[in-house]
Chain A
């Protein structure tokens, strides 16, 4: 294929990303694939061990615990994060006094580095002097010891991850604003109340975008547990927050099981793919999907 001017320019612009993707994503991915079938420890060569890592995984109670922790997290965190982002976006989409400051406030936690947010939550969730328990105490509500309990630690991580939802918030905000005001006027003339407008117009028209965001958030939530678990709980108590990324990290860098952690990564990748493809198949059956496609 002969390249003409603009194409060459485009390739020049894309080159850094191409190189970055190759060197930092594709190459390590290929290496991971290879390591998964070896007993590589990070030192030396490591010998080919066939499916030994997979067999080990199958019988590994810690892996099962970590899969369970991640699954519980995704099942609770994704609907909550999405629901919050959609709710806030719809609430703040209409022009109102000071609206931009509210929107800014929703987006702001997203730009805080994970580690900083996690350190902040270490303080927020402190059972003795943390503001959360002080507030609960003021309201006469029970004050859990948060990170020292199984449910409390999982809830704490979810709570922290309910804040960086700015991207989904922005996408829903923009999509909602792209729906013509005329549709709502037509609906109002026909007697549709606000909640009927939400159910019959807004949500169906947002559906394709919501589906994409949900798919994305499943993949994201499988990954994003690493920093909060690392800073807040280190997988505890009783492996309640030993999410898969933490377990992969522990295996690779604490126990020098590069080969084994590579196999875990592969399995999680396969599970993620399965979830994403499953969601896509489900979503494609929706009629609304074809509208905004």
Chain B
């Protein structure tokens, strides 16, 4: 089943800028779309509009070809997992999962069985009879997921559900969510501010900034061909080096005045014959790679990704060569890719 935002705008009464600005976006059947952007970019608002928790100022929302713009939340048949998970504190994990079915009048052994199956599937059956304040962060997140899954909705909307987990647990949980999504074949929109999460999880990635959709496409495409400066600067860690095409360093990378030159850290290669000379400021050894922060002759700072065991220290001078055809050019005024 598909989800479609049709020219959706939301302006809150207290704001003078729209939180979501003319959003046009289609999510395909069984697709996992990640929506990423800095905080305040409108990604959560977009999700809330689709869930029916807020009403759009203009535009239409479609679920499976049906216009649901004027439908109340529970008729849209979408489930949402909130960033704070919103578990009911006075109900056990089992009662939390059963909440929706119960308010819709479902009870009995069939429901109990379904909940226990979900508990097994999500590996938290033992936690079912505990209360939210007795659960670990990972268990809470699973309960929230089970609460969304229990009624087999048409689409899942996840709003940074992993943000309260520690880094290790997070990496594991995100793989589990992807696996689960493949298994049940559900359409899923996953909102995050973590670009690594967005890139690794999504079939496609939608980058949002200032309420506007900047780019949407497969992760590799967004990474290799960022549509504009916002995307270029947001996706990738460390981010793409962006410099004035008219500067000394910029010209050495093939830039021209009036444009911004971009080059990813891994596309600056340490090479004794390189055109670009720079001084190493910081060496970040990450084990699998080493990131050098260097300063060019004109004071411009660049990140360089290099192999982990390279013998280099701060204050060393290195020569750098850009990988051919890996230079990105953006219009200095509009920011659009050239």
Contacts and interface: CB of A to CB of B under 8 A. Distances in A.
A189 to B, nearest CB: 5
Interface in B89-106: 89-90, 99-100, 103-104
Interface in B70-114: 72-74, 78-80, 82, 84, 86, 88-90, 99-100, 103-104
A68 B1 CA distance: 68
Interface stretch (A33-41, A197-205, A240-248): A197-205
A189 B103 contact: no
B304 interface: no
B70 to A, nearest CB: 15
Interface in B150-172: 151
Given A183-B86, A186-B82, A291-B90, A191 B100 contact: yes
Contacts of B99: 187, 190, 192, 200
A185 interface: yes
Nearest to B76: A189
B294 interface: no
Given A185-B53, A200-B99, A191 B104 contact: yes
Given A200-B99, A200-B103, A189 B51 contact: yes
Contacts of A180: 84, 86
A190 B100 contact: yes
Contacts of A183: 86, 88
Nearest to B150: A190
Nearest to B74: A191
B89 A188 contact: no
Contacts of A288: 90
A207 B84 CA distance: 23
Contacts of A190: 74, 99-100, 103-104, 147, 151
A185 B90 contact: no
A2 interface: no
A193 B104 CA distance: 10
Given A188-B53, A190-B74, A191-B74, A201 B104 contact: no
B88 A189 contact: no
B79 A189 contact: yes
B82 A205 contact: no
Contacts of B133: 291
A189 B47 CA distance: 13
A54 B82 CA distance: 63
Contacts of B73: 185, 188-189
B86 A186 contact: yes
Given A187-B99, A188-B74, A196-B103, A201 B53 contact: no
A182 interface: yes
Contact of A182 (B82, B100, B104, B147): B82
Interface residues of B, number: 23
A205 B99 CA distance: 15
Given A182-B84, A196-B103, A200-B99, A189 B74 contact: yes
Interface in B43-88: 51-53, 72-74, 78-80, 82, 84, 86, 88
A290 B89 CA distance: 10
Nearest to A287: B90
Interface string B278-316: 000000000000000000000000000000000000000
Nearest to A203: B90
Nearest to A184: B86
Contacts of B103: 187, 190-193, 196, 200
A204 B99 CA distance: 14
Contacts of B84: 180, 182
Contacts of A196: 103
Nearest to B144: A186
Nearest to B80: A189
Contacts of A193: 103
22 contacts: A185-B53, A185-B73, A185-B82, A186-B86, A187-B88, A187-B99, A187-B103, A188-B73, A189-B51, A190-B74, A190-B99, A190-B100, A190-B147, A191-B100, A191-B103, A192-B103, A193-B103, A200-B99, A200-B103, A205-B89, A291-B89, A291-B90
Given A188-B74, A205-B89, A291-B90, 16 more contacts: A180-B86, A183-B86, A183-B88, A185-B73, A186-B147, A188-B73, A189-B53, A190-B74, A190-B151, A191-B103, A192-B74, A192-B103, A200-B88, A200-B103, A204-B90, A287-B90
Interface of B: 51-53, 72-74, 78-80, 82, 84, 86, 88-90, 99-100, 103-104, 131, 133, 147, 151
Task: Report, nearest first, the 8 A-B pairs whose CB atoms are least far apart.
Answer: A190-B100, A191-B74, A182-B86, A186-B86, A192-B103, A291-B90, A204-B90, A288-B90
